[in-house]
Amino acid sequence: MKTIKVCIGSACHIKGSYEVIEIFKELIEEYKLQTKVELCGSFCLGKCRDAVSVMRWDEKIFSISKENAREMFKNEFISYL
């Protein structure tokens, strides 16, 4: 199982980490990835300026907003499973 970590630290929380988490949850269900992907919250990923920070299982960190979350999930996560 591959893990996606979404920062829920202060800067990311303020910039919408919980909205990103909800969008990712919907997409995981929509694409039936429950057995392939684990979504979890994480504290600081070290990219506070670029919040919301999301780390893919290969430790690559992305800056994701609720506006680009769907596109980023499809392009940067699904295509790498």
Q: What pLDDT, on the 0 to 100 scale, is given for residue 35?
A: 97
pTM of the model: 0.94
Reported as a single tens digit per residue, the pLDDT across 21-56 is: 999 999 999 999 999 999 999 999 999 998 899 999
| Class of domain 2-80 (CATH, top level) | alpha beta
On the CB side of 56, CA atoms within 13 Å amount to 16
What ranges do the domains of the chain cover? Answer: 2-80
Instruction: Tell me how far apart the alpha carbons of residues 35 and 46 are, in angstroms, rounded to a whole number.
Output: 28
Q: Angle at Cα 49 formed by Cα 60 and Cα 81, nearest 5°?
A: 20
Q: What pLDDT, on the 0 to 100 scale, is given for residue 51?
A: 87
